[in-house]
Chain A
Amino acid sequence: NAGVTQTPKFQVLKTGQSMTLQCAQDMNHEYMSWYRQDPGMGLRLIHYSVGAGITDQGEVPNGYNVSRSTTEDFPLRLLSAAPSQTSVYFCASSYGWSYEQYFGPGTRLTVT
């Protein structure tokens, strides 16, 4: 099993550009989520999904969109990048909300 994979590992964007962070898992997990990690703020939930076709907002959803067309993939879209979105982004998955969660290696995003 590859586990949870994320691409790209690093990305630099200019303000106003859009992009998609990719996340995939091969463990047949229903739950997937996106977090951002910032110094002094810890990890905060952006969006999550409880299964294909079902998504919901987390703590800091503004400026981000998600969709879940398959069980395996959960992409995160930045609509119009802002410097405040400079962060490290982690995707996670699990069988359910009360089960062990597995994290991807992260995407380090810089917005100039």
Chain B
Amino acid sequence: KQEVTQIPAALSVPEGENLVLNCSFTDSAIYNLQWFRQDPGKGLTSLLLIQSSQREQTSGRLNASLDKSSGRSTLYIAASQPGDSATYLCAVPNYGGSQGNLIFGKGTKLSVKP
């Protein structure tokens, strides 16, 4: 059964720092991996979708990498800003179970201090 883990659960950094959020998964047979951002009391906003055939995907200050063989993905945020403060979730589609189901990690709560 696929499991997705995100460590650390919380991270606090000063403004301007570059940072890396980690996501690991137990079954390397993934089709893609999606990173989301969730602000308090709000829905999930899709940040990046990285296909299994890709190693990297970039959007602005965000860069997601994927290493299927080691079961890991990282989300790199460059020059962090207070507005980046949110919970970041990674998720993979569930191959063998319910179609359309995403299996989520429990998220990393990021706080960027001015």
Question: Contact check: which of B32, B36, B45, B89 meets A98 at CB < 8 Å?
Answer: B32
Interface centre among A57, A98, A106 (most CB of B within 10 A): A98
- In the complex, which residue of chain B has the Cβ closest to the Cβ of A31? B100
Tell me whether B44 and A103 are in contact (CB under 8 A): yes
Collect the chain A residues with CB atoms within 8 Å of residue B42's CB.
105-106
The chain B residues found within 8 Å of chain A, CB to CB, are 31-32, 34, 36, 41-46, 49, 89, 91, 93, 98-102, 104-107
Residues in A neighbouring B41, C-beta threshold 8 A: 108
Residues of A participating in the B interface, judged by any CB pair closer than 8 Å? 31-33, 40, 42-43, 45, 48-50, 56-59, 90, 92, 94, 97-106, 108
* A52 nearest CB across to chain B (Å): 14
Residue of B nearest to A61 (CB): B98
Interface on chain A toward B: helix, strand, loop, or mixed SS? strand
A3, closest chain B residue (CB): B43
Contacting residues, chain A, for B100 (C-beta < 8 A): 31-33, 48-50, 94, 97
Contact check, A101 vs B34: say whether CB atoms are below 8 A apart. yes
Tell me the bound Cα distance from A100 to B91 in angstroms: 11
Q: Are B98 and A102 in contact (CB under 8 A)?
A: no
Return the chain B residue nearest A45 by Cβ: B101
- Are A105 and B99 interface neighbours, CB within 8 A? no
Q: Known contacts A98-B32, A103-B44: does B98 contact A56 (CB below 8 Å)?
A: yes
CB B82 to nearest CB in A, in angstroms, measures: 22
Q: CA of A43 to CA of B107 in the docked complex: distance in angstroms?
A: 10
Chain A residue at minimum C-beta to C-beta distance from B4: A42
* Complex alpha-carbon distance, A99 and B106, angstroms: 21
> Is the pair A101, B104 in contact by a Cβ cutoff of 8 Å?
no
In the bound complex, residues from chain B placing their C-beta under 8 Å from that of A32 are: 100
Instruction: Choose one: B44, B91, B101, B106; the contact of A58 (CB below 8 Å).
Output: B101
Tell me if B99 and A102 are in contact (CB < 8 A): no
Report Cα–Cα, A58/B101, bound state, in Å.
8
Task: Contact check, A97 vs B93: say whether CB atoms are below 8 A apart.
Answer: yes
State in angstroms the CA–CA spacing of A49 and B107 once bound together: 26
